[in-house]
Amino acid sequence: MRSDLPGPVVVLGGTGNFGKRIVQGLVRHGVPVVIAGRDLAKAEAFARTLADFRGGVARLDIHDPTFGGQLAALSPSVVVNTCGPFQTADYGVARACLAQKIHYIDLADARDFVTGITALDEAAKIANVCVISGASTVPGLSSAVIEHFRSDFRELDSVAMGISPGQKAERGLATTEAIMTYVGKPLRPFAGATRPVYGWQDIFRQEFPRIGKRWMANCDVPDLDLIPQHYDVQSIRFSAGLELGVLHLGLWLLSWAVRLGLPLDLPRHAKLLLKASNLFNIFGTCDGGMFVTFRGKDKAGKVCERRWFVIAKNGEGPQIPCVPAILLAKRLWEGASYKAGAYPCVGLISLKDYLDELKAFDIRQYEMPAGSV
């Protein structure tokens, strides 16, 4: 590596469900990467599968007291943190990056974690680095879609969004643990909520192009706070769903058990629940999707609705959450000028750039008029 180039991008959890895809994306762009994780042999084996790999591997455990020193020894220019679940995480990794004046990006989908990242804003400005949280589907892609369509509206009254992965699409334990933290629990109030809202309740059927109808339920994500704050939306709803009705409705029943006060510690049983879910893979597909529905008034003052979908086939859905981290890490490594500070990933990636990064995969967007799919 030339000595005048910036330090590599360190991907924490670099062999995980999302981490390995981020590594692959950065390697495609010619960015030097350090694949970091607790299992050095696994990182080395993964590195051997990568063509044109520039960088290295490292054993790093974010919970190790010596983590900060070990990270500094790698002299990275950017760190990408994929080590969830972020619902139970603190800002220790981000603070370690600030201490070394290293740009920090994470894939957090935890509402409090992402919205609270601004607590590090002053320190990030002093260090003259970016600390970006939520560089994932939410709020990375969701805000990109809103940025793209909001010029169609004079007033944007409501936004409804949801994600339904394919049953056979690769799922990580951290994602399962994250969902279990809020199943059956009351969600913090948000714009448009006129009554208490509980995780994985208020189920409904959503139709997607190419993949049909899916069950959906309440999901706790940063967008519930960030979208109304940034785009003056009066009402928001975010949902998630499992492809197989038996699993979705089974989790819905568990949400009622939690809501009624039964002593169920679902996050502690996430590993078992994930294994049980995988037993049903034979009945599912590798296809998933995301929808966004906008309602408001157009430039002429008439009621207007827009419906947008992205559909991923052949198990390629997990590529979607990785795009913001890939593009932001690449740009920061190249010296792009993003404002110093700590903030959520809202409006940082355009929808065009997002979809361009996904062109190599079986992932397509669809725009539908109201009332049709």
| Confidence band for 248, pLDDT divided at 50, 70 and 90 | very high
CA 230 – CA 345 distance, rounded (Å):
11
DSSP states of 323-334: HHHHHHHHHHHH
How would you classify the pairing of strands 212-218 and 204-208? antiparallel
Closest CA to 259 of 196, 205, 216, 203: 196
User: Cα separation of 256 and 202, whole Å?
Assistant: 11
- Residue 212's DSSP bridge partners are 208
Burial 126-135 (b: 16+ CB within 10 A, else e): ebebbbbbbb
pLDDT tens-place string over residues 91-118: 999 999 999 999 999 999 999 999 999 9
Average pLDDT on 38-53 reads 96
User: Which 3 state secondary structure label does DSSP give 140?
Assistant: helix
pTM (predicted TM-score) = 0.95
Give the pair of three-digit tokens for residue 204.
Answer: 């409904």
Q: What is the mean pLDDT of residues 20-37?
A: 97
Side chain identity at residue 15, one-letter code = T
Q: How far is CA 277 from CA 249, 253, 273, 321, 334, in A?
A: 12, 15, 6, 21, 41
What band does 262 get if pLDDT is binned at 50, 70 and 90? Answer: very high
276-316 confidence digits (pLDDT tens): 999 999 999 999 999 999 999 988 899 999 999 999 999 99
Q: What is the pLDDT of residues 140-183, one digit of tens each?
A: 999 999 999 999 899 999 999 999 999 999 888 989 999 999 99
Please give the Cα distance from 133 to 147 (Å, whole number). 18
Closest CA to 143 of 299, 22, 292, 355: 292
pLDDT for residue 306: 92
Q: C-alpha angle with apex 45: 318 to 85, nearest 5 degrees?
A: 40
Examine the pLDDT at 76 and tell me if it is beyond 50: yes
Q: Assess contact for 223 and 139: CB atoms under 8 A.
A: yes
76 or 1: whose pLDDT is higher?
76
First-last CA distance in the chain = 50
Q: How far apart are CA 210 and CA 212, in angstroms?
A: 6
Sorted by where each starts, the structural domains of the chain and their CATH numbers stand as: 9-137+318-357 (3.40.50.720), 140-316+359-368 (3.30.360.10)
The Cα angle at residue 222 between residues 193 and 262, in degrees rounded to 5: 65
Q: What is the CA radius of gyration of the chain?
A: 20
Mean pLDDT, range 200-215, rounded to an integer: 97
pLDDT band at 1 (very low <50, low <70, confident <90, very high): very low
Rounded distance, CA 87 to CA 178, Å?
A: 6
